[in-house]
Structure 1
């Protein structure tokens, strides 16, 4: 469950648990399946999530533990990064570390809570779509991502974030409309 009353630490913990379940559900032989992210396989989606979280931690001088390569063991690679990130978030000094971000002064926990938790939800769906597993995003997470997207405004279309919106029928469900807005063909 996600809501604005949940701490960044607990929000990450909850969304990382969902992402972990998606990673663990990937069937044998599906890691190299193409994902909705152009040019990326399911394995590369997980590598992106790991790499971007690691890079964010390094930006403030935090080194997260190294696991096996995503190429060799994507499940353990993700679990290792997740556990390291959670430990960093649970450390008040790291969580409260302030820096100048793209949108102004912020702190580590707030940045993870917004941008990197967003990635856990959206790339979790990408992974599920690529591997033929359950694509359902919990309703509370759909609402939360909608709020993040609204807060980002036109920045959501910056290079490397989301592609152009895809048209869907007015009758599409809320999850489908959100994913289409984020450039995913559903």
Structure 2
């Protein structure tokens, strides 16, 4: 198994645990993502799994919707992406992505895999769970995110209605690294509903 596949599985395990831990009455709770509920956060992650399949002319397998069963919807979407990573020929195939020409596995790693880390924080924060991001993840993400291109913060730069990152939230220089990372990504580390 490649490092990318292992990293994806670890992140998906953590995200799935957060989805499974959401109390039934909390799915409509607001999230740190403007205009999204906790259910919408999971919906976004499932939708991003579908985006990973599109360059290959594939779509998600039939499964319950996020409205019906958020965990089942995520588990099914995850299985579809893991199937790509488990097939060496498919994983190494090059596809056109918004970031340029990438292998399927690199596209997954740079988009939906990392998305589960950040949106896992959003889901945890929205539903009263432990929102600690693995410190190794924070350390690994920090250097690359300090110089986000401005276009990543422009609504619609990657398509109608697409917002990648919000405006930077100023966080004190001596704040914990997770807080500084969240601020760079346009999130208020002290957000509450």
Same-fold status (TM-score > 0.5):
yes
Task: Name which of 165, 172, 182 aligns with 2:185.
Answer: 182
Question: TM-score when scaled to structure 2?
Answer: 0.87
Query: What does residue 3 of structure 1 align with?
Result: none
Query: What does residue 166 of structure 1 align with?
Result: 169
Deviation at 1:146, TM superposition (A): 2.0
Q: Distance in 1 between matches of 2:96 and 2:154?
A: 19
Query: What does residue 159 of structure 2 align with?
Result: none
Query: What does residue 141 of structure 1 align with?
Result: 137
Q: Distance in 2 between matches of 1:169 and 1:9?
A: 35
Matched-pair contact (CA < 8 Å) for 1:70–1:77? yes
Task: Name which of 36, 39, 57 aligns with 1:40.
Answer: 36
Deviation at 1:62, TM superposition (A): 2.7
Task: Name which of 110, 115, 126 aligns with 1:130.
Answer: 126
Measured at CA, do residues 155 and 147 of structure 1 come closer, stay the same or move farther in structure 2, by a change above 3 Å?
A: farther
Bigger RCO (CA 8 Å, 6+ sep): 1
Matched-pair contact (CA < 8 Å) for 2:4–2:105? yes
Measured at CA, do residues 58 and 9 of structure 1 come closer, stay the same or move farther in structure 2, by a change above 3 Å?
A: same
Matched-pair contact (CA < 8 Å) for 1:60–1:97? no
Query: What does residue 21 of structure 1 align with?
Result: 17
Question: TM-score when scaled to structure 1?
Answer: 0.90
Matched-pair contact (CA < 8 Å) for 1:50–1:78? yes
Matched-pair contact (CA < 8 Å) for 2:165–2:186? yes
Measured at CA, do residues 151 and 63 of structure 1 come closer, stay the same or move farther in structure 2, by a change above 3 Å?
A: farther
**Residue deviations 1:35-81, cap 9 Å, x none?**
01100000000001101211221222233322101001001111111
Aligned residues: 181
Deviation at 1:148, TM superposition (A): 4.2
Query: What does residue 119 of structure 1 align with?
Result: 115
Unmatched 5+ stretches in structure 1: 1-5
RMSD: 1.6
Matched, 1:69 2:71: no
Q: Distance in 1 between matches of 2:71 and 2:168?
A: 31
Unmatched 5+ stretches in structure 2: 156-162
Matched-pair contact (CA < 8 Å) for 1:67–1:76? yes
Measured at CA, do residues 109 and 158 of structure 1 come closer, stay the same or move farther in structure 2, by a change above 3 Å?
A: farther
